[in-house]
Amino acid sequence: MDTRPGEHVIFEGHPSWRAILSFYLKGLVIAVVLGALGWLIGSPGLAVVVGFVKRIATTYTISNQRLRIRRGIIARNVQETRVDRIQNVNTDQGVFDRMLQVGTVDFDTAGTDDADFAFAGVAQPEKVSRKVEQALHEASQAQAQSQQQQGLAAAPPPPPPPPASAT
SS3 136: helix
pLDDT of 40: 39
Q: Write the pLDDT tens digit of every residue in 157-166.
A: 666 666 666 5
Confidence of residue 149 (pLDDT cuts 50, 70, 90): confident
The structural domains of the chain, ordered by start, are: 9-149 (2.30.29)
Give residues with Cβ within 8 angstroms of 83, minimum separation 6.
62, 63, 64, 65, 66, 67, 132, 135, 136, 139
Task: State the burial class of residue 34 (Cβ atoms within 10 Å of its Cβ: 0-12, 13-18, 19+).
Answer: middle
CA distance 101 to 19: 8
CA dihedral 50, 53, 55, 56 (to 10 degrees): 170
Predicted confidence band of residue 36 (pLDDT cuts 50, 70, 90): low
What's residue 53's pLDDT? 85
The whole-model pTM stands at 0.65
Helical segments of 37-124, H only: 44-56, 95-100
What pLDDT score was predicted for residue 39?
39
Instruction: Say if residue 76's pLDDT is above 80.
Output: yes
CA distance 124 to 128: 7
State the pLDDT at residue 68: 95
Q: Residue 22: which pLDDT band, with cuts at 50, 70 and 90?
A: confident
Average pLDDT estimate for 129-137? 93
If DSSP codes are grouped into helix, strand and coil, which group holds residue 129? Answer: helix
